[in-house]
Structure 1
Amino acid sequence: MSTDNLIKMANQIAQYFASEPDQQQAVLGVRNHLQLFWTPGMRKELLAWQTEHQGADLHPLAQAAVSGAGWEA
């Protein structure tokens, strides 16, 4: 899958959780979704992109979910 598609999907997931008033819960929601529904290869590709580009195109919740503690690529 292309990195552009992964970024688009991660941003859509983050946008869904953006309505959560507790930001920590929103980040956990994004992180849990990525862990449960994305393949390890998809997570590794997004993490590599995030590391290289500092998440320039990622929603802030997606950035926090990918770079936060507990992330398993």
Structure 2
Amino acid sequence: MQIEKLIKMANAIGEFFNADPDKEAAVESIKNHLLRAWEPRMRREIIDYCRKDGNGLAEPVKQAVLKLEV
């Protein structure tokens, strides 16, 4: 899948959950959504991209993606 599309999708998820005033909870919700809704290949691609550059990803999304690695 094209990384640009993954970035757009991840940021849209981030926008939805970022409405939560508890920013830690928002990051956790983003992470959980990515775990439930994205297939492993998509997660691997966004994790690799975030590790290398992460340009274009919103900060809460970056935090959530990096938590997927653990």
Given the two structures, how large is their TM-score scaled by the length of structure 2? 0.93
1:62 alignment counterpart:
61
Displacement after TM superposition at 1:72 (Å):
4.6
> What is the one-letter code of the residue matched to 2:52?
E
1:10 alignment counterpart:
10
Aligned length: 70
Task: In structure 1, list runs of 5 or more residues that go unmatched.
Answer: none
1:29 alignment counterpart:
29
The ranges of structure 1 where at least 4 consecutive aligned residues each deviate by more than 3 angstroms after the TM superposition are: none
2:19 alignment counterpart:
19
Q: Which of the two has greater helix per residue?
A: 2
What CA deviation, in whole Å up to 9, does each residue of 1:42-73 have, x standing for no partner? Answer: 000000111111x22101110010113xx158
What SS does structure 1 have at the residue aligned with 2:50?
helix
RMSD: 1.3
What CA deviation, in whole Å up to 9, does each residue of 1:17-66 have, x standing for no partner? Answer: 1110001100011000000000000000000111111x221011100101
